[in-house]
Amino acid sequence: MTSATSPTQTKKPFYTSMSLQVLVTIGLAILLGYLNPSMAIAMKPLGDAFIRLISMIITLIIFCTVVTGIAGMEDMKKVGRVGGKALLYFEIVSTLALLIGLVVGNVVHPGSGFNVNPATLDPKTVAEYAGQAKAQTVTEFLMHIIPGTIVDAFAKGDILQVLLVSILFGFALSVVGPRCKPLLELFDALTHAVFGVVNIVMRFAPIGAFGAMAFTVGKYGIASLGPMFKLIVTFYFTSILFVVIVLGVVARAAGFGIIKFLWYIKDEIILVLAISSSEPAMPTLMAKLEKLGCSKALVGLVVPTGYSFNTDGTSMYMTLAALFVAQATNTPLTLIQQLTILAVAILTSKGASGVQGASFIALVATMTVIPTIPVAGMALILGIDRFMSMARATVNMIGNGVATVVVSRWEKEIDSATLNRNLA
């Protein structure tokens, strides 16, 4: 009797799909932005409120997931091994993304023909970002990971600082052992409660997507894409090729298909495209990766770390956009100067997480190392940065998902047959 009734009981109406709901609200938002820009701009708080709702619990999710995962591990060496493998993977793939952006910029020349005189550009439009931009040294970057206090890490919402605190707590609980069992059970219960909050908040995802997309179209307008059409198409096409070919090869080597994986996380992809930030998708992405068979500890380590160290979309954008500004302002760059941009971007891209606008600041910081490139030239792409960030954030999120599955396969947590069965 159970088997006869269960299919109809478990099948949900098509209109309850978050993907469909978000797509519908995106369509309505674009329509509103085109017909009534002023009203569309007024929808911005809806998108901002949704992002803040997710941001307020991300640190708790990371802390609970990592602490319970590490404390529950019998082999503490695995934590260090997983972290080492993840960082090695991040560095190789993100550097490859930087190189791809550099090569595409030199081959396509998206900025040629603009012939912009830097003197005619208003540097005030970029001044706000230039004030925040600062190319960090390796020492400064490492020191930044250590918070002033434990509370400070959570108050600022700095993912890397929270991750450091979480790892230390996880190790401590594991070393102390049975005496900390009540505390571990508390964190485990808190994890379930926090993901319960996520399930509630995600019901507002279509509303958040509507607000964010309506603001983008209302403020910048579809017409603003015209002059920068070549750059936008180049970046989006490069992003698609990177996901399908580069990440596709990586996925195939790990024993799964990239198209199946993209379909598995379609809800997160659509949400990130609409919101222009990858952070709102982090909680549900982590939950889906665990359902695939990746361990809680591995997901808790790799995904949050990847949000700072594995920014593939941001990396491609930074080198491509830097060459675009140089070409648009007729600023010739030598091979040494281009390699300097690449070297600096390897470090500055690590601080550009999924928050909208962080990548633009990181790009300004990178450009300052080549004085011949007018930073005011960044004003050329400031108006389309929101549209570019959609692709950046989406590639970043997809890259972190693939990285987690790959590291999980390296750790033999899940075999290829089980992985593909779960993806289906």
Average the pLDDT over each of 135-139, 196-200, 319-323, 328-332 and give the range with the smallest value: 135-139
Q: Cβ distance 166 to 67 under 8 Å?
A: yes
Residue 302 has a CB neighbour count (10 Å cut-off) of 30
Confidence at residue 6, expressed as pLDDT on a 0 to 100 scale: 41
User: By three-state DSSP, how is residue 296 classified?
Assistant: helix
If we measure between CA atoms, which residue out of 316, 312, 290 comes closest to residue 404?
A: 290
Residue 6 lies in a domain: no
Q: 251 falls in which pLDDT band (50, 70, 90)?
A: very high
Q: What tokens appear for 376 in the block? A: 């005011």
Asked whether residue 201 is domain-assigned, the answer is yes
Question: How many residues comprise the chain?
Answer: 424
61 and 286 in contact (C-beta within 8 Å)? yes
**What is the number of domains present in the chain?**
1
pLDDT of residue 122 exceeding 90, the answer is no
Q: Specify if 87 maps to a domain.
A: yes
Cα→Cα distances 400→86, 103, 247, 300, Å: 10, 23, 10, 12
Using a 10 angstrom Cβ sphere, with 0-12 exposed, 13-18 middle and 19 or more buried, the burial of residue 85 is middle
Helix, coil or strand: residue 88? helix
Q: What is the pLDDT at residue 185?
A: 85
pLDDT at residue 135 tops 80: no
So what's the pLDDT on residue 5?
42
Average the pLDDT over 159-172 and give the result.
84
**Any domain includes 306:** yes
Q: Smallest Cα–Cα separation from 160: which of 129, 136, 176, 181?
A: 136
Q: Kindly calculate the radius of gyration of the chain based on its CA atoms and give it in whole angstroms.
A: 22
Percentage of the chain surpassing pLDDT 70?
Answer: 85
Confidence of residue 153 (pLDDT cuts 50, 70, 90): confident
Cα maximum dimension of the chain: 78
In a domain, 206, yes or no: yes
Question: Can you tell me which residue has the tokens 């600022």?
Answer: 156
The answer as to whether 4 is a domain residue is no
Q: Structural domain of residue 386, as residue ranges?
A: 17-423
State the Cα–Cα distance between residues 254 and 237, nearest whole angstrom: 25
Average pLDDT of span 114-124: 67
Q: How large is the average pLDDT for residues 367-396?
A: 79
User: Is the pLDDT reported for residue 87 higher than 60?
Assistant: yes
Confidence of residue 8 (pLDDT cuts 50, 70, 90): very low
Phi-psi domain of 75 (left: phi exceeds 0; alpha: psi -120 through 50; beta: other): beta
Q: What is the pLDDT of residue 205?
A: 86
Residue 119 predicted with pLDDT over 70: no
Which CATH number do you get for residue 131? 1.10.3860.10
pTM above 0.85, yes or no: no
Of 297 and 317, the one with more pLDDT? 317
Query: Considering the domain boundaries, does residue 130 fall inside one?
Result: yes
Query: E-strand spans in 149-232?
Result: none
Mean pLDDT of the chain: 82
Examine residue 208 and state whether it is found in any structural domain, yes or no: yes
Q: Which residue has the tokens 């695995």?
A: 78
Is 142 a residue whose pLDDT tops 80? no
> What percentage of the chain exceeds 90 in pLDDT?
18
What is the secondary structure of 41-58 as a DSSP string?
HTTHHHHHHHHHHHHHHH
